[in-house]
Amino acid sequence: MRRLGWIPIAMVAGLVLATAFPFYWIIVSSLQPESRLFDVPSLIPLELVGEHYRALFDERDFWIPIRNSFIVAGATTFLCVTLGAFAAYALARLRFRGKALILAFILAVAMFPQISIVSPLYLLLRELRLINTYPGLVLPYLTFAMPLTVWLLVGFFRQLPGELEEAALMDGASRMRTFYEIILPLSAPGLATTAILTFLYCWNEFLFALSFTIGPERYTVPVAIALFRGQYQVPWGQILAAAVVATAPVALLVLVFQRRIVQGLTSGAVKG
């Protein structure tokens, strides 16, 4: 490999610094006593305390939004990947009329600005008595998560050599049998990537969660953080601690699977 000159290195370093700094700042600040937060900022923590984290879980029951987020994001991901896999397989492999149209339509659905469907969805969910329930979040989440899943999986399935399926058909396997005995095991990496990405989107989602929940018992993590209120002041320390807690599982997931995710996102872009 060619050695890089100092200009590109400096640019990359600057970029990394600029992206990483806020995270560093959040972590450091979340470990400072409240009184220090408004002092002259210091890059190096002078005093480390765990009080905000303690308050988060003891006083605010932050477990509840974490549990809610896991349930909602988990259920959405599960539904998306199972149902999406069938849809994607059909779109990737079967021959039928209007396939291109359906794919375009799915993409169009994903392009809708969330804010434009919040009100109609709210009315709909209220009619169905689903406001402030888990299904009341999972169903709307499917509107943006499903198109993502289907598109990603269509890419994966198209990549698999068609002769494998033909071989299975010749061997006497039905389409369904071929799907779950040949296609699914071979697409495990694709399914995993898709699941992780879908989970991340749902975990971070804010607008729907804010609009369709009423009480803290159904708040998801982003909503809970946004609605933190003290009696006389904004509890910045706790907000920062909550931000760290909300980021941790996501960051962990991405770090563990990063190679897979990159592979997944670029698959189908180039052959091989």
**Least distance to another protein, CB of residue 94, Å:** 13
Q: Indicate whether 161 belongs to the interface with another protein (CB under 8 A).
A: yes
| Cα 222 to Cα 234: distance, rounded to the nearest angstrom | 16
- What tokens does 193 get? 């990537």
Helices (H) and strands (E) in the chain, counts: 13, 0
Site string for another protein, 178-217 (x = CB under 8 A): ---xx--xx-------------------------------
Nearer to another protein, 5 or 172 (CB): 172
Q: Indicate whether 98 belongs to the interface with another protein (CB under 8 A).
A: no
**Least distance to another protein, CB of residue 198, Å:** 24
Nearer to another protein, 67 or 177 (CB): 177
Residue 147, CA distances (Å) to 83, 112, 126, 144, 195 in order = 11, 11, 24, 6, 13
* C-beta separation of 201 from 140 below 8 A: no
Length in residues, the chain = 272
Q: Indicate whether 173 belongs to the interface with another protein (CB under 8 A).
A: yes
Return the range that interacts with another protein (CB under 8 A); candidates 17-25, 116-124, 143-151, 165-173.
165-173
| Cα 66 to Cα 248: distance, rounded to the nearest angstrom | 12
- Using the structure block, give the residue that is written with the tokens 């039905």: 174
Residue 104, CA distances (Å) to 84, 98, 243 in order = 15, 10, 37
**Least distance to another protein, CB of residue 196, Å:** 21
Nearer to another protein, 167 or 252 (CB): 167
Q: Indicate whether 272 belongs to the interface with another protein (CB under 8 A).
A: no
**Least distance to another protein, CB of residue 246, Å:** 37
Per-residue DSSP letter, 154? H
Return the range that interacts with another protein (CB under 8 A); candidates 18-26, 101-109, 139-147, 167-175.
167-175
**Least distance to another protein, CB of residue 169, Å:** 5
| Cα 84 to Cα 184: distance, rounded to the nearest angstrom | 12
**Other Cβ atoms within 10 Å of 239 Cβ, number:** 17
In terms of C-beta density within 10 A (0-12 exposed, 13-18 middle, 19 or more buried), how is residue 10 classed? exposed
Binder of another protein out of 177, 227, 252, 262 (CB under 8 A) = 177
Q: Indicate whether 166 belongs to the interface with another protein (CB under 8 A).
A: yes
Nearer to another protein, 48 or 170 (CB): 170
Return residues touching another protein (CB under 8 A): 161, 163-164, 166-174, 177, 181-182, 185-186
